[in-house]
A and B are shown apart, each in its own frame.
Chain A
Amino acid sequence: MTSAEKRKATESIEAWLYLAPALAILCTFWFLPIIISLLMSFGNITALKPMDQMAFVGVRQYTDALRSSEFHQSLWNTVNYALYAVPVTITLAMLIAMTLNGRMKGRGIFRTIFFLPYITTWVAVSIVFKYLFDREYGIGNWLLEVISLDILGMESAYRLNWLAEPRGIWELFLLNPLGIQVGRMPLGIDNLVKGPSLSLACVIATSVWRDVGYAMVIILAGLQNIDRSLYEAASIDGAGPLQKFRAITFPLLSPVTFFILTISMIGAFKVFIPQFMMTPTGGPDNTTTPMVMYLYEQGFTGEWKLSYAAAVAYILTLIILALTLFQNRLLGKRVEYGH
């Protein structure tokens, strides 16, 4: 062995020693469980059948899950949540960030205020918002009453059921007032038309409130990284604010936007505390229960169907993985990293 090779070998050993503590933990509590979980999902473990009596049942847990209407509902709730919470959060964050960008007084204070909700814990946030959306004592109905009675001068107050309202928001605020009743449509299109139930919309509003500051801080940092001279050049060429946004801000911000989109999408599929705390029973007609809450209910309460829950968890993982890859493929190409 030459001395160079020897040095390389000792460096290798040293490197693995540095890695050892972290790897020991990661192997035991991350890598190994990923494999165990996969094995379990092909078995039939419940509270009555512990690990050592496990029999392999093939993909039965998966087919059971995919056939279960409760699972479908929780999957749809999760998708619905992500479909509304993520775009609304990012759009609002972008608007706030662009308002805060540039020379202005009080930017630091506003940035702090908008960021403040993000550091508060989900559990407490959910309790507070459950109160705000309370049917009898909440601020939501009070605001509606002020608007309807005091401002519009109506005869009686307009009230909503908030967290107990199973009707979708489009159904409630758009279609029903127009006299349109949504019946059953094929492929669950009716669910898409109805929109998330008002109770899920309350959860979405809560999470937008909490997360908008996080996205805003990242976008603001991205905006401040854009070269000012580009805007000056565009101004000289006579570009208006909209043109500047389309030609400079949006393309140059796209890596940052893409990063937030990916992170928030993955996050949205894992959120469960607000649903769990604000609607412990899963909301009206089960319209809030996300997949993670369904998984918890199946695996850790009642019959403790651990194998079934593991299968659900794997389906969730596959969805998240597919979504991430899809976003990378489809949107990643359009992101402009140059400059």
Chain B
Amino acid sequence: MGALILAQAPATGGNPLLQAVVALVILANFAAIVVLYLCSTSRASDSPTQKRGSIAGAFLKYEVLLFGAVVMLLPFYWMIVTAFKDGQTAAAFPPVWTPSRIATKAPDPKTGEMIRVVPLGTAQRTGEQVRVVPYDNMVFRRVQESDFSVTKEIPDPDFVFLSDPALFQTDSVISLDLKNFRRAWYRPEESSRGQVNFQTYFAVSIISSLLATVGTLITSALAAFAFARLVFWGKTYLFYIVLATMMVPGQVLLIPNFLILSSIGWLDTWAALVVPWLASVFTIFLMRQFFMTIPEDLWDAARIDGASRFRYLWQVVVPLSRPVFVTAGIFDFLNNWNSLLWPLIVTSTPRMRTLMVGLQNLNDDAGAEFHILMAASCFAVLPVVLVFFFLQRFFIEGIARTGLK
């Protein structure tokens, strides 16, 4: 240690390859827009013109969509790839994007001894005196004046330019082991925060979300049936009251609910996480809208067969309404699964901590250890994404339906 190794700075003026690509993209877009404009204004509707216009249109369309798709997927990719890095690589700047080998050791130009080299960003953070700019593709980068600030004490002769990439000893820095996931999983136990780990968080989140969802579906189906199909005293007023509560933000209820729960001694219990969420105005409304579309004739037929209203609801309405049950179930589950403020307030001991609160704690705890944080984020994101791929149709159709009614 002690030697400062600098990569050779490339000639200023940027990266010609990248500049060429950018210029090409700009030119192609310009050409496509011109073609599209010419084709749309020309009165001639012969097929070659039309074809040229539609090709240019499709080019622009797919380009925009692809760019959007990359923006949408990039954070997911970044989360997953970081979860497989070691701590040093996760804090490397410029970032390492693909599983690759980066230089970890290099020969000291004076003694020939192999010494450890670290990525630029890391050196800045830890104040280590050895730095080099190691890249898998061995494109070296300028090192700026500002980068020297932490290593001022090193005398000038130690500034050495190392230009031969072949001398670097490289190591794989993104490896397919689950080390980070294991560390993230047990991290709460290791820290001073308590005796539980993500296993508890998962259990609390899944059980409380499932109970609340199933309960909400049952109470909402019953209430929605009354609103949709029964004539009763006070129906209109009650419906308006119920609708009006949809407008009240949940935060208003936070404080009194906290006091109510504490006065009946439910703080920090399963009941606090589940019972208040056993009914949902939105779900009642969604189901009522669906039940209204079921023809009245079915009830007449069921009544002639001697069925009670409850049996009609249970054996005719509910099976017919499966899509709305799945949609509402997804919404309710996600709402419970994603909530942070409520469990944060009504629970205090680690054994009642939900996944989101656990994650929030970890964020406070491991603020700069991005590889651990990304692994923990995967815990919260990937199960839902997995379920999404199976129930995609219901998710998207359900949401589309709420907008059309």
Contacts and interface: CB of A to CB of B under 8 A. Distances in A.
B320 to A, nearest CB: 18
Interface residues of A, number: 105
What range describes how many residues of B lie at the interface?
35 or more
Contacts of B18: 146, 150-151
Contacts of B337: 121
Contacts of A310: 252, 255-256
B252 A37 contact: yes
A132 B255 CA distance: 34
A140 B278 CA distance: 42
A34 B267 CA distance: 20
Interface string B283-324: 010000000000000000000000001000000000000000
A182 interface: no
A266 B249 CA distance: 8
A146 to B, nearest CB: 7
B380 interface: yes
Contacts of A28: 260, 276
A320 B276 contact: no
B378 to A, nearest CB: 8
Contacts of A36: 256, 259-260
B125 interface: yes
B230 A15 contact: yes
B404 A222 contact: yes
A38 B241 CA distance: 17
29 contacts: A14-B309, A22-B222, A23-B279, A26-B245, A31-B241, A34-B248, A36-B260, A37-B252, A37-B253, A51-B259, A100-B65, A113-B73, A114-B68, A116-B72, A116-B388, A121-B356, A123-B380, A124-B381, A127-B377, A136-B91, A137-B91, A142-B94, A146-B18, A151-B18, A153-B19, A270-B251, A306-B255, A309-B255, A316-B252
B402 interface: yes
A134 B91 CA distance: 10
Contacts, number: 286
A141 B65 CA distance: 24
Contact of B255 (A37, A110, A121, A324): A37
B207 interface: no
Contacts of B227: 19
Contacts of A300: 258, 345
Contacts of B142: 149
A19 B121 contact: no
Contact of B232 (A15, A95, A155, A219): A15
A222 B403 contact: yes
A12 B233 contact: yes
A120 B385 contact: yes
Contacts of B401: 221
Of B75, B252, B377, most buried by chain A (CB within 10 Å of CB) is B252
B75 A114 contact: no
